[in-house]
Amino acid sequence: MIRLSCHGAARQVTGSCHLLETDRFRLLVDCGLFQGGREIEEENAGDFGFDPQTIDLVILTHAHLDHCGRLPLLAKRGFRGRVLATAATRDLTRIVLMDAAGLQEESARHHERHPHEGGTSPAPLYSAEDVLNVMGRFDKPVRYGEQRELASGIHATFVKAGHILGSASVFLELKTTKGSGVSIFFSGDIGEPGRPLLADSDPPPRAPDYVVMETTYGDRDHRPWDDSVDELLTTVGKASSTQGKTLIPTFALERAQDILYVLAESFEGGRLDPRLPVFLDSPMAISATATFRENLDELRPEAARLISLRDPFERPNIHYTREVTESKAINDVKGPAVIMAGSGMCTGGRIRHHLEHYLGNLSTSLIFVGYTSQGTPARRIIDGGKSLRIFGAEVPVRAGVHTINGFSAHAGQSQLWAWLQRCGRPRKIFLVHGDYDRGMKAFSERLTQTGHRNWVSPKDGEIFDLDEQGS
């Protein structure tokens, strides 16, 4: 018996969690949080769709919250197995989960102090202690290209995914009772090639029988990198010329570092005033940036060499604000400044304080540089919302709003297609981690048009029996 079922990212973008079962072993590929509006908070606190106590192993493809964010809850509910990941993913997961636990506890405390804001604040899913508990379950880190035996007859090979630091696609090989083998390739999240910091993704070690692949941007390609950089720098320059602030809601892993790298190059090359203050107002992003310096072997050789010789992240006008007092002091800065703060979808974190302060100013530029899920504050602003409710008050949207999707860490449709071509001709393709009516639908239509008819978009909890015939 080899069975596959999806308990997250099934016909939706977030909450990646895929269960693979044999007669003697049960493993998860990822265990992520559902992200979006408050209506999904109950979904995160609900049943997993399986018994956590029966899971022998969790494989983490990377450290984004929608791939690792329910791991402490899994352990809290009885998981006693191992967790397998690359070294960078392990280090970043600790940062991400500790931040998530802190934000949950902060949200609960805020609601207790301000009950007049209405609504209910759910109890935190887990605590910092729960995070430390599950971090103790991490196995020896796995290297790219290394084949690791998970159990008798079950092997995993981690393949570079090029999405964020430490990210991997995972090639699993399982022996069946008939003595032959079945291989399954889990994409994780696939990176957009040609980025300045991370190396591009690698192909599987051999053509897999089954592919489980993301379709986040299955309906479109991203704007070219150089065009996106030009728009970013032009927007920052215009805001600076009017003494305005530039707010960039930032995903702490990869996106923040890419943008810092671009800004540093622009200061060095004279495109922007090298005295322009840049604030990275995100403890998680600050810690993640330090992790880049500790994992230079994952970067492009030219980027690793530059960071070693003349670190672009360490400039006199780039300020890292870890403490709350430092964050609040940004409001006292006169004149132009770039403020990068989490979260990228504006669902929490310090960006909400900056939005409260600057969103109503005509001189402010608000730049979104990543994917925004339906129902999030970021999407409401992008879709033309005239105001945003922040800390119980309606704040008018008067800032100039810009969306620059060329900075996405996800592959666009053409790159997803190129990635799939390197997998040969799988017996079946499982489409996950995408908007069902957009990215997933568009990509499935392209599959059908090109003769790939053996594909499926799994429903939540739907079970598939895998065998040599590809059923």
Across residues 127-138, what is the average pLDDT? 97
Give the model confidence (pLDDT) of 339-394 as tens digits. 999 888 898 889 999 999 999 999 999 999 977 877 889 999 999 999 999 988 99
For residue 157, the SS3 value is strand
- The helix (run of H) or strand (run of E) holding residue 173 is strand 168-175
* Of 29-43, 172-186, 230-244, 388-402, minimum mean pLDDT range: 29-43
* Of 32-41, 189-198, 325-334, 337-346, minimum mean pLDDT range: 32-41
Model confidence at 469: pLDDT above 60:
no
The predicted pLDDT at position 471 comes to: 47
In the structure encoding, which two tokens stand for residue 471, read together?
Answer: 């059923």
Let me know if 230 is exposed, middle or buried by CB neighbors in 10 A (0-12, 13-18, 19+).
middle
The predicted pLDDT at position 348 comes to: 82
Reported in sequence order, the residue ranges of 322-377 that DSSP labels E, i.e. its strands, are 337-341, 365-368
Compute φ and ψ for 41, nearest 5 degrees: -60, -35
CATH number of 225-407: 3.40.50.10890
Domain boundaries along the sequence of the chain: 2-220+410-465, 225-407
* Residues constituting the chain: 471
Rounded CA-CA distance 318/279 in Å is 6
Mean pLDDT, the chain, as a whole number?
Answer: 92
Residue 42 pLDDT class (50, 70, 90 cuts): confident
Between 284 and 19, name the one with better pLDDT.
19
Q: Residue 106: CB partners within 8 Å, gap ≥ 6?
A: none
The predicted pLDDT at position 446 comes to: 96
- For the residues of 120-155, what is the DSSP string, one character each? --PPPS--HHHHHHHHTTB-SPPPTT-EEEEETTEE
The predicted pLDDT at position 470 comes to: 47
Across residues 233-251, what is the average pLDDT? 94
Give the model confidence (pLDDT) of 269-287 as tens digits. 999 999 999 999 999 999 9
Rounded CA-CA distance 5/350 in Å is 37
Contact 274, 309 (CB under 8 A): no
Q: What's the pTM value of the predicted model, to 2 decimals?
A: 0.90
Contact 171, 208 (CB under 8 A): yes
Across residues 35-45, what is the average pLDDT? 74
Share of residues in the chain with pLDDT > 70 (%): 96
Model confidence at 27: pLDDT above 80:
yes
Domain formed by 2-220+410-465, architecture: 4-Layer Sandwich (3.60)
Rounded CA-CA distance 432/447 in Å is 14
Rounded CA-CA distance 387/175 in Å is 56
Residue type at 277 in one-letter notation: P
Angle, CA of 432, 434 and 438, to the nearest 5°: 130
The predicted pLDDT at position 280 comes to: 97
In the structure encoding, which two tokens stand for residue 278, read together?
Answer: 């840049």
Q: Which of 243, 241, 236 is nearest to 361 (CA)?
A: 243
Rounded CA-CA distance 153/177 in Å is 10
Contact 21, 150 (CB under 8 A): no
